[in-house]
Chains A and B, each alone.
Chain A
Amino acid sequence: MTEVSGTPILEAPVAEGARDQHMVLNMGPQHPATHGVLRLVIELDGEIVVRLYPEIGYLHTGIEKTCEAKFYQQVVPLTDRVDYLGPMANNLCYCLAVEKLLGLEIPPRAQWIRVLLTELTRLNSHLIWLGTHAMDIGALTVFLYTFREREDILRIFEAVSGQRMMTSYFRIGGLSMEPPLDLFDRIQTFIRTFPEKIDEYSNLLTGNPIFRNRLKGVGYISAFDAVALGVTGPCMRASGIDFDLRRDMPYSGYENFKFNVPISTDGDCWARYEVRLIEMRESIKIIQQALDGMPEGPVKADAPKIVLPDREKMKTQMEALIHHFKIVTEGFAVPAGEVYQGIESAHGQMGYYVVSDGTAKPYRVHMRYPSFATLQALETMCQGRMLADVVAVIGSIDIVLGEIDR
């Protein structure tokens, strides 16, 4: 039996009659500090949180149901919209799952570009987290700084895929196309200056006594509770669990990269802040290694019945035209089976569970997104603390409502 300290997540904290003196406060769904449409029902004793109950589902779009009605390749653009701050990570996880079902080998260049862009996605996501988190606490300036750098990353995404946010750049079997010629130079220029930018954020926040007091010791969760409640990613590592899928169960060629996994044992909001800042620096190391060792070669797997042919070939070669027509109109059949593919996204462990019945449409696509599980720990983190701390804790667990409700 696993017991979580404090009251386990139970029924809604609507006053059970006897508890007079307690107030039930409704926070959200429209609230600037809930990072989307999250509704919290909070039972308060004065200013102290007694119980807290997240009410979710306001962004539920039934995306898993939609996937069942599409061809495998048509699901890729849907995945962009789940965690809308990390499109490349969503694409990667889905593509890896389907490629595992197909038993498809991905050329090294495609793998390295995937790693490169996924790490940029992590930076993108962490920048938004840092900006909004600081803004919730009252440090408005940082938001403008982080969005300045985020703009650079979005420009890179636009150059590579034609889209700033909904990139759909990774496809089953590789990438949609070879990246533009000057892309690696642009990324190099960006990461050359980026460490200084992190110092800049750190200068604004780390020594700031208000920021420090609002985060230190707030939102504590022990390592045991974090594991029991399914918390993953930076939040879990800030509680002292040394586990990162990129290092421990490598995928997409991550075993070729050297990086550290930051750990803290404090388990509070401050630890989560520090862990993510170091993670950003580690991501830069990975990006640098990816740029330095970028292999040459194709960016698509040699599987003409699965991967769309190049436009040039499609217009000049009969066979390529037939393959193109077949893939677009009929899709491609995937051998029956079930796979679960996990990756380490910016928020934690993301996973796609894809079940195939041997046809061209997935029989079932289930998405495990980190924020969904992490939200369960919110009550444990907030219990016994002031109401104002709830805002700090929500910021520090870095949830995206798009991936919670799906």
Chain B
Amino acid sequence: MTVTSAIALQGKAAVLDGLPEHPAVKAILAWNADALADAKFDRGELTLTIVPEQIRAAAATVQAAGYNFFEDMTAVDWFPSSPRFQLSYHLLSHAYKERLRLRVLVEEASPSVQSIVSVWPAANYYEREVFDLFGIRFDEHPNLRRIMMPDDWQGHPLRKDYPVEGYR
């Protein structure tokens, strides 16, 4: 399925209106329409914002809908706005030859999200990296340890309130 990159759809209603036949949108709606908090279609990329409590089930749903390959996962720190963290999951469908971005917004206070390692084992290192560099915890991750920084490191370097150079 290919969609031209010219159209930009902002907001859940616009995306549901504009892309009703999109396999991921259909699958999410069929599973649980309330889990879809927001959506946008911009520069040819579809982003579905999922409520944090449902990310594992949402991942399993889009996996079943044909988005079989976990390509990438990372976080963005929107300090000082709230919710502070955004997690972006990039999933790829070998059949549709298309990408999908799942987005989860995480609050600053003791940030934690469900791990999706049980859905895609490939997420293991990626979740460890986000834990290491952003300090977001992943519940039920098999081995949530620092991956880049030394084990005794203080702080999470990719947070915006962590300086680029000089003393911490």
Query: In the complex, what residues of B have CB within 8 A of residue A373's CB?
Result: 122, 125
Contact A9 B143 (CB under 8 A): yes
Q: Which residue of B lies closest to A61 (CB)?
A: B148
Interface 1/0 per residue, A394-406 and B, CB below 8 Å: 0000000000011
Q: Which residues of A contact B97 (CB under 8 A)?
A: 248-249
The yes or no answer to B121 lying at the interface (CB within 8 A) is yes
Most interface-central of A12, A353, A366 (chain B CB within 10 A): A366
Residues of chain A contacted by B90 (CB below 8 angstroms): 340, 351, 353, 368
Given contacts A4-B121, A11-B143, A405-B148, contact A230 B158 (CB under 8 A): no
Say yes or no: B43 contacts A229, CB within 8 Å.
Answer: no
The answer to whether A1 and B147 touch across the interface, beta carbons within 8 angstroms, is no
Is A229 touching B164 in the complex (CB atoms < 8 A)?
Answer: no
- A219-247 CB mask vs B (1 if < 8 Å, else 0) is 00000000111100000000001010000
Min CB–CB distance B144 → chain A (angstroms) = 10
Which of A65-73, A198-206, A381-389 lies at the binding interface? A65-73
How far in angstroms is the closest Cβ of chain B from A319? 30
CA distance A103 to B8 in the complex (A): 13
Question: Once bound together, how far apart are the Cα atoms of A8 and B119, in whole Å?
Answer: 13
- Tell which of B76, B88, B121, B148 touches A376, judged by Cβ atoms closer than 8 Å: B121
Chain A residues engaging chain B, CB cutoff 8 angstroms:
1-2, 4, 8-12, 56-57, 60, 62, 64-66, 68-69, 100-101, 103, 227-230, 241, 243, 248-249, 337-340, 342, 349, 351, 353, 355, 363-364, 366, 368, 372-373, 375-376, 405-406
> A9-B124, A56-B147 known; 8 other A-B pairs, CB under 8 Å?
A2-B118, A2-B119, A57-B150, A227-B69, A342-B71, A351-B71, A355-B76, A372-B125
Using CB atoms and an 8 Å cutoff, list the residues of chain B in contact with chain A. Answer: 42-43, 45, 47, 60, 63, 68-72, 74, 76-77, 88, 90, 92, 94, 97-99, 101, 118-122, 124-125, 133, 142-143, 145-150, 157-158, 162, 164-165
